[in-house]
Structure 1
Amino acid sequence: MRYASLGSGSRGNATIVLQEDRGVLIDCGFNRKTILQRLQDANVDPRQLDGVFVTHEHGDHAKGVAALCEVLNIPFFASFGTARKMQWTDNPLWRCIHSDQVVSVGGLAVLPVVVPHDAEEPLQFVLENSTEKRLGVLSDLGSLTPHIVSVYQRCHALQVEANHDPMLLQNGPYPPSLRARVAGNFGHLSNQQCAELISRVRWDGLQYVTAGHISEKNNDRALVSQTLSQALECAPHEVSLLQQDQVSAWRQL
């Protein structure tokens, strides 16, 4: 199994996961033209995709899903709450998924995980291949529940959210209501919460950790690196941070 971020941040998110020559997208928060270009940049033929898994209905995760899947004639997988909010329930390509019920697509077993976020029925995902290599993708949640910590144990790779620094958020440009939403239990993980999660699930088999969904207004990449380096027991320059407008390197499990 190998994976790469096609872009991560408040202006769009998508992750490609391949098992041999078939694979899936996690989210498609870019328009069809942009996502097709990002796939090309990653040397992926769109015809290799067997589906798109959607975390929730917010535009930076879902706005390009239907358009991409319709042109490729592939299914997209989302909770009923997400599909209802996006008005997808009558779309013949939509497949309803439920938390903790594994879906097998493209040689991957995909486990939806319920998370606390201010959306209708948000999910995140843990993907496993036939050799039991596990990739945990986790963003857009405001707090760490015991269930999340349990499910994300023994992942060989983590792609996790480090959205904001609390001080920068409180002193940043957002109005008070939006600051409260981001910092709340149904908002986004801070750098410190991200570090806490890493510390709680880290084990000898964890090969890769990448941090994404980094706010351009309420965070600083140097702060992310510094905070996470302590949890990873590495130098700050060794912490891998995802970019909004750039495809990441491939990582192989």
Structure 2
Amino acid sequence: MNDGAGAMRFALLGSGSKGNALVVEYAGTRVLIDCGFSAREIVRRLARLDLVPADIDAVVITHEHDDHWRGVSRFSRAHGVPVWLTPGTLAARRASELAAIELYSPHEPFAIGDIELFPYPVPHDAREPAQLVVGNGDKRLGVLADIGHATPHVREMIDGCDGLVLECNHDPQLLAAGPYPAYLKARVAGRLGHLSNAQAAELLAGIDASALQQLVVAHISESNNRPELAQAALAGALSCTADWVHVANQSEGLSWRTLVNR
């Protein structure tokens, strides 16, 4: 149960190149954003948050890459959970694998129970990728990962959010010296790839962060980044201490964080 009456909260089951999933809860509704672990692992990680599959009202998929899709087919079928996705993502995957399909446009808001979702398109090398701002009519949580560069529309969408889950995928020096082959390094650092620490910090510095209660580093590379580098970059953008910036890692994710009503 949500201890904060009327408050929205969120947690990350895990985040990184091996798998991504985030759960948002408000009132009687819980939505899982992405399902990038095996169905069995999703169930195990939900249990760490005192949730069971029956608590999940819907899964919203941002795009078709395996680290966001991996367990959704089996999880959806096994537990009768509907899946929301863009037409482009649907075209990239087999629709027959899902228990129930709902389509959303990256340009139009929609609601699942008590939760409002405001999708927006992002530059990434997928068929029709989207990211999301999640709201309850009062507080707004911005979710932004898997994006090669920040467009003016992206900045507009996350401006003024109360919570922000922000990709800090790589440090350019570590990426250049790291184990990836040249083509993959180029993809990661390209305009349809992933944000570096510096790019994320520049984005953060250019938006209104005055309402920000929770800031989370997400999709951090285990090979090409270090948590303290990402924290320092975002802390510098906000002129706050690095320990105020949370990190969602691959194995443990991040426990519940609440956006309180003020």
After the TM superposition, which residues 114-153 of structure 1 pair with which residues of structure 2 at under 5 Å, given as runs?
Answer: 114-130=121-137, 132-153=138-159
- SS state of the match for residue 209, structure 1? strand
- SS state of the match for residue 206, structure 2? helix
Q: What is the root-mean-square deviation of aligned Cα atoms in Å?
A: 1.3
Q: Which letter does structure 2 place at the counterpart of 1:147? A: H
From 211, 217, 229, the counterpart of 1:211: 217
After the TM superposition, which residues 10-159 of structure 1 pair with which residues of structure 2 at under 5 Å, given as runs?
Answer: 10-88=17-95, 91=98, 93-130=100-137, 132-159=138-165
Q: What residue in structure 1 maps to residue 16 of structure 2?
A: 9
* 1:236 CA displacement: 2.2
* 1:92 CA displacement: 5.6
Q: What residue in structure 1 maps to residue 5 of structure 2?
A: none
Q: Which letter does structure 2 place at the counterpart of 1:211? A: V
Question: Between Structure 1 and Structure 2, how many residues are aligned?
Answer: 252
Q: What residue in structure 2 maps to residue 176 of structure 1?
A: 182
1:107-146 Cα offsets, whole Å, 9 max, x none, are 011111100000111011111103x210011100000000
Q: Which letter does structure 2 place at the counterpart of 1:133? A: K
Q: Is the 8 A contact 1:21 1:48 kept in 2?
A: no
2:245 and 2:140 map into 1 onto residues whose CA distance is: 20
TM-score (normalizing by structure 1): 0.96
Q: Which letter does structure 2 place at the counterpart of 1:206? A: L
Unaligned runs of 5+ in 1: none
* 1:21 CA displacement: 3.4
Q: What residue in structure 1 maps to residue 239 of structure 2?
A: 233
* 1:90 CA displacement: 7.8
Q: Which letter does structure 2 place at the counterpart of 1:122? A: P
2:166 and 2:243 map into 1 onto residues whose CA distance is: 17
Unaligned runs of 5+ in 2: 1-7
| Percent pairwise identity | 42
1:184-223 Cα offsets, whole Å, 9 max, x none, are 0000000011111211223321111101110011111221
- SS state of the match for residue 254, structure 2? coil
2:129 and 2:79 map into 1 onto residues whose CA distance is: 25
Q: Is the 8 A contact 1:42 1:247 kept in 2?
A: no
- SS state of the match for residue 136, structure 1? strand
Q: What residue in structure 1 maps to residue 248 of structure 2?
A: 242
From 188, 196, 200, the counterpart of 2:206: 200
1:90 and 1:22 map into 2 onto residues whose CA distance is: 24
TM-score (normalizing by structure 2): 0.93
